């Protein structure tokens, strides 16, 4: 039973990593850039919800506050693209990497200035109660996280595969010039994808905050989500989820069965191993271009 | 307005482009040598800090600015240099041998790490090096018999040709030591740029395809760049150990890696000046901010995280409006004066390019 318990809690943690990784992958898929501030987006989403829901702030009902904060984060993502990232159009990747790291600093600073640096908990209906299932104790929040993550990944996958907009996003990332000529409004498409990743970050934030306390440094979780995204393959949405689950499950097991110093490095060793042997990740299907 | 007449191909690779710049840099070195006479010991310590950051910046600049590979793991190499130097001295080697050797060891480690990392491009390399930076922290703890683990290490007093050098009691001597290393690293960097290898670096950065077509061995060039970059970084790390006086696993954290990368961007990627400009900003920004905060809000008001927040904002503004960094701004001002009535606004306009990737999914 012990192993199953570890597996379930690892699964729930992994789904949060997977959700953040989903944000990375969305932006990478559509703009070929990596948003190093995605973890901080997640933290901001959690704090926005917390600010709307908690008794000492606005005290809105949770089921109103959650969609509202998702919408706010989506708007923020679009705005960021409009104001800042669009100007980097055509610049090299290093510029985007450094810009988004700096953005993370700024978000962390503002979150700390508005909500303080103390850890706070979200007053969410998900945080209540456990479920007993065949001797395994499941937190309600854990269950919610797993279900929401799987649903979200599936629908985003379908979105990219089936809808016109999703295909337009993929086209815009592969060859901007050609996409322009085919009548795709590349800039607006990129803005939309930043909005979408903001919304995903908000979902991740809400779920993360209903599991435990949140503080402005929670965004550093993003580094583990990176590992997840790379392990899964940076261009693949189901891969991001799978990578997140792998990292999430490895952590508690390593903490349990390895010596103290070695357990923390397990996810990163796995990351380096994957980068060495399958540089494009476990689930990507990159074929080399012939010409 | 000065005009350089280049009458031979050799003029393109001279150490100093003309007599004027030779005089300027000569005067600068003279000023640096006379500095202890001009300012007091506290500020000498600060200038030493700037120089150490500048050496570390030169190391990363060689990789990111010259070869175009962003590394977020250079704190790990600072740590390797620092620990290697201290451990070698503890084994009884004299400083004059241990210090260069520490850099070489770091370079070799960097080169070995680079070989698998070479398969990775842009983003993937950045992520792999982040992992390296995080791993370094834990590995230092695991290697406790050598590294002292969490309790850390204290570097010994430096003995160089019978002269004792220590950072706290004799900052002027330590300043001269750091200045010497800085000059050597700068000359090394400048000479590297003049060599075929340096041109190969630039070729790899600008276009790997064209570099291959010109006969540049991409993998070997990248590994060499990684190794040389780590060598300079290792020296900077050893000096940082002496400057701090004590170090443990948390001294060289991921934050240092990020600061280092941001520093060379603020300074100006791909230029020696940029490493120095960036080092000045990084070393003096905290003091400048606290003075500014005290004058605006009054002293005693503490805003946690203000420093990194403002640092981030400055960085965003730089990337948006001055991608060439402080060096680029300086260049623009200088050219405006040189061309006085003829300078035009669009001379430095950025080119737009369109993204076209090889990714299919």
Q: Do B262 and A102 touch (CB under 8 A)?
A: yes
pLDDT digits 0-9 by tens, A152-193: 888 988 888 888 888 888 787 777 778 888 888 888 888 888
CA distances (Å), origin A115, targets A63, A144, A202, A210, B105: 21, 26, 16, 17, 46
CA distance A232 to chain B (A): 13
Residue of B nearest to A84 (CA): B320
Hey, what's the torsion of the CAs at B177, B183, B188, B192, to 10 degrees? 160
Q: Would the pLDDT of B148 be above 80?
A: no
The reported pLDDT for the residue numbered B361 is 42
Q: Which residue has the tokens 């290792």?
A: B234
Per-residue confidence band for B298, with pLDDT thresholds at 50, 70 and 90: low
The reported pLDDT for the residue numbered A153 is 87
Q: Would the pLDDT of A19 be above 50?
A: yes
Asked if this assembly's ipTM is beyond 0.85, the reply is: no
Per-residue confidence band for B314, with pLDDT thresholds at 50, 70 and 90: confident
Q: With b meaning 16 or more CB within 10 Å and e meaning fewer, what string describes B291-301?
A: eebeeeeeeee
Using CB atoms, pick whichever of B124, B126, B359 lies closest to residue A174.
B359
The reported pLDDT for the residue numbered A75 is 93
Q: Would the pLDDT of A132 be above 90?
A: no
A255-279 average pLDDT score = 79
- Is A260 within 8 Å of chain B by CB? no
Using CB atoms, pick whichever of A84, A178, A276 lies closest to residue B116.
A276
CA–CA separation, B188 and B181 (whole Å):
10
Using CB atoms, pick whichever of B120, B138, B358 lies closest to residue A289.
B358
| Residue A14 neighbours by CB under 8 Å, 6+ apart | A228, A244, A245, A246, A247, A248, A249
| Residue B132 neighbours by CB under 8 Å, 6+ apart | A272, B73, B76, B113
Q: Do B316 and A94 touch (CB under 8 A)?
A: no
Our measurement of the distance from residue B324's CA atom to the centroid of its chain's CA atoms, rounded to an integer in Å, reads: 16
CA distance B356 to chain A (A): 4
Q: Do A94 and B122 touch (CB under 8 A)?
A: yes
Contacts of A218 in chain B (CB under 8 A): none
Q: Would the pLDDT of B109 be above 70?
A: yes
Contacts of B305 in chain A (CB under 8 A): 108-109, 112-113, 117, 216
Q: Do B354 and A175 touch (CB under 8 A)?
A: yes
- Is A271 within 8 Å of chain B by CB? yes
DSSP states of A78-131: HHHHHHTGGGGTT--HHHHHHHHHHHHHHHHHHHHHHH-SS-B----GGGS-EE
- Is A95 within 8 Å of chain B by CB? yes
Q: If you ran DSSP here, which 8-state letter would residue A135 be given? A: T
| Residue B26 neighbours by CB under 8 Å, 6+ apart | none
The reported pLDDT for the residue numbered A53 is 82
Contacts of B134 in chain A (CB under 8 A): 223, 265, 268
Per-residue confidence band for A290, with pLDDT thresholds at 50, 70 and 90: very low
Residue of B nearest to A31 (CA): B355
- Is A289 within 8 Å of chain B by CB? yes
Per-residue confidence band for B351, with pLDDT thresholds at 50, 70 and 90: low
Residue A155 has which token pair? Answer: 């629908």
CA distance A71 to chain B (A): 25
pLDDT digits 0-9 by tens, B179-238: 999 999 999 998 988 888 988 988 888 877 888 888 888 888 888 898 999 999 999 998
pLDDT digits 0-9 by tens, A197-209: 999 999 988 888 8
The rounded percent of chain A whose pLDDT value lies above 70 is: 92
pLDDT digits 0-9 by tens, A53-110: 877 777 778 788 888 999 999 999 999 888 888 877 767 777 788 888 888 888 988 8
The reported pLDDT for the residue numbered A169 is 82
Using CB atoms, pick whichever of A105, A117, A271 lies closest to residue B309.
A105
pLDDT digits 0-9 by tens, A102-120: 888 889 888 888 888 888 8
Helices (H), A212-277: 222-232, 237-257, 260-277
Of the candidate ranges A8-12, A284-288, B57-61, B226-230, the one whose mean pLDDT is the lowest = A284-288
Q: Would the pLDDT of B358 be above 60?
A: no
Residue B266 has which token pair? Answer: 């603020």
């Amino acid at each position: 039973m012990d192993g199953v318990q570890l597996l379930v809690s690892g699964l729930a943690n992994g789904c949060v990593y997977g959700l953040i990784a989903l944000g990375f992958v969305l932006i990478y898929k559509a703009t070929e850039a990596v948003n190093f501030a995605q973890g901080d987006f997640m933290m901001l989403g959690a704090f926005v919800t917390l600010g709307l829901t908690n008794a000492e702030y606005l005290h809105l009902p949770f089921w109103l506050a959650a969609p509202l904060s998702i919408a706010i984060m989506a708007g923020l993502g679009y705005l960021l693209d409009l104001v800042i990232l669009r100007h980097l159009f055509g610049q090299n990747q290093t510029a985007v990497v450094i810009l988004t790291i700096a953005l993370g600093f700024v978000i962390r600073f503002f979150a700390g200035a508005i909500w303080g640096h103390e850890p706070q908990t979200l007053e969410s209906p998900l945080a209540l109660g456990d479920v007993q299932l065949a001797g395994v104790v499941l937190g309600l929040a854990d269950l919610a996280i797993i279900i929401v993550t799987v649903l979200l990944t599936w629908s985003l996958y379908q979105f990219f595969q089936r809808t016109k907009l999703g295909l337009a996003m993929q086209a815009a990332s592969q060859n901007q010039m050609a996409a322009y000529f085919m009548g795709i409004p590349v800039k607006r498409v990129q803005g939309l994808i930043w909005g979408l990743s903001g919304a995903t970050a908000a979902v991740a934030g809400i779920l993360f905050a209903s599991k435990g306390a949140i503080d402005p440094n929670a965004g550093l979780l993003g580094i583990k989500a990176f590992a997840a995204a790379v392990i899964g393959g940076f261009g693949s949405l189901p891969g991001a989820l799978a990578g997140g689950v792998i990292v999430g499950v490895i952590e508690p097991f390593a903490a349990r069965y390895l010596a103290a110093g070695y357990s923390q490095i397990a996810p990163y060793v796995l990351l380096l191993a994957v980068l060495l042997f399958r540089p494009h990740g476990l689930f990507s299907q990159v074929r080399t271009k012939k010409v | 307005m000065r005009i350089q007449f280049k009458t031979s191909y050799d003029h393109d690779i001279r150490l100093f482009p003309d007599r004027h710049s030779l005089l300027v840099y000569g005067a600068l070195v003279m000023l640096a040598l006379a500095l202890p006479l001009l300012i007091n010991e506290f500020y000498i310590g600060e200038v030493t800090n700037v120089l150490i950051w500048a050496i570390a910046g030169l190391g990363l600049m060689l990789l990111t600015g010259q070869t175009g590979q962003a590394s977020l793991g250079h704190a790990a190499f600072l740590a390797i240099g620092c620990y290697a130097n201290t451990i070698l001295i503890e084994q009884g080697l004299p400083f004059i041998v241990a210090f260069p050797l520490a850099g070489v060891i770091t370079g070799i480690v960097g080169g070995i790490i680079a070989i698998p990392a070479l398969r990775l491009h842009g983003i993937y390399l950045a992520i792999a090096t982040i992992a390296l930076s995080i791993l370094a922290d834990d590995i230092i703890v695991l290697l406790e018999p050598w590294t002292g683990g969490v309790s850390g290490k204290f570097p010994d007093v430096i003995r160089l040709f019978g002269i004792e050098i220590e950072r706290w009691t004799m900052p002027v001597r330590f300043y001269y030591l750091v200045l010497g290393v800085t000059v050597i690293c700068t000359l090394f960097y400048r000479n590297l740029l003049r060599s075929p290898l340096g041109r190969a670096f630039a070729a790899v950065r600008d276009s790997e395809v064209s570099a291959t077509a010109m006969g540049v061995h991409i993998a070997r060039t990248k590994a060499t760049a990684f190794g040389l970059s780590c060598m300079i970084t290792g020296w900077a790390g050893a000096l940082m150990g002496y400057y701090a006086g004590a170090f443990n696993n948390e001294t060289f954290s991921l934050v240092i890696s990020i600061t280092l990368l941001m520093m060379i961007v603020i300074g100006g990627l791909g230029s020696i000046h940029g490493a120095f400009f960036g080092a000045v900003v990084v070393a003096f920004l905290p003091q400048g901010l606290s003075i500014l905060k005290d004058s605006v809000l009054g002293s005693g008001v503490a805003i946690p995280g203000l420093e990194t927040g403002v640092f981030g904002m400055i960085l965003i503004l730089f990337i948006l409006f001055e991608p060439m960094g402080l060096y680029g701004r300086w260049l623009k001002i200088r050219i405006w004066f040189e061309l006085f009535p003829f300078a035009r606004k669009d001379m430095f306009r950025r080119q737009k390019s369109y993204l076209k990737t090889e990714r299919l999914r």
